[in-house]
Amino acid sequence: MWLYNLGTASGTSGSSNVTGTTGAFTYALIGSEIAFGADNASAADARRYLITGKTDPQSITVYPPLQADVAGGSKFIVFQTSQNAQMPEYLAGLVGQLLNEYGGVVTAAGDDRRITLDKIAADDYAEVRYRTGGNERFRHGTLGTDQFRLQSWLSGAWEDIIATSGGLPVFYAATGVQGVPGYSFWGDRDTGMFSDGPDRLGFSLGGAYQILLHNSMIDLRPISGMARGPGQVFLDNQSNLGNLR
């Protein structure tokens, strides 16, 4: 057994917080025991408390909560022992809290193992988040509804990548431009489909604008700024409908 005393302490009955004078708990270790009432082992109160946390050299938390007030200026003694009578009970309490909070998250079904996030109500959140250095990147889950959503953190807000509607998936992509279309392909990033504006759908090949669908109109090889009319098909900016096959 190793013991020491340094300064005085105070605390309130029923609380787990103990405050000491400056530097009082400099050498107190989590897992040590503390007793109050005197600065020597023989005279100290026989009731001992397990030190469960230390936020600074004059503030600790104990288990169980204080059974009586520790008046300001009370002397104390810290015991560093190889076995703590309070430790098994304290650890059992922590395990009980973990099981109560997370016991249903990981489940076993035969040889299978499952991770389950079971929220209470539909408007609650059951989600998994991915961060880098504390900064949001992605999240997925049932986010305030019973529909699944996969989202990316963009410009300070969550944006949908995939969201279900009635259980069916809806895919979202960036608006894109002809050189980098929102929908494209591995190894061919400059070929695909993009939004050329509200109700305007564009297609590009090799980064070049090839087709525009807009307002009941098909425009092949469109040129920016050219006037178009509804119900027309343009090829190389010419409305040669009679020769199209």
- Tell me: the pLDDT tens digits for 105-159? 767 667 777 788 888 899 999 999 999 998 999 999 999 999 999 999 988 999 9
How far is Cα 38 from Cα 76, in angstroms, rounded to an integer? 5
Please count the residues of the chain. 245
Query: What is the band of 242 on the pLDDT scale with cuts at 50, 70, 90?
Result: very low
User: What fold, for 2-85?
Assistant: Elongation Factor Tu (Ef-tu); domain 3 (2.40.30)
Q: What is the pLDDT of residues 160-174, one digit of tens each?
A: 999 998 888 898 888
Q: Which residues contact 191 (CB under 8 A, 6 or more apart)?
A: 181, 184, 185, 204, 205, 206, 207
Residue with the two structure tokens 């035969």: 110
| Structure-block tokens of residue 121 | 């109500």
- Using the CB atoms, write b or e for 53-65: b if 16+ within 10 Å: ebeebbebbbbee
Locate the domains of the chain by residue range: 2-85, 125-171, 183-243
Say how many C-beta atoms besides its own lie within 10 A of residue 212's C-beta: 23
pLDDT of residue 245: 41
pLDDT band for position 86 (50/70/90)? low
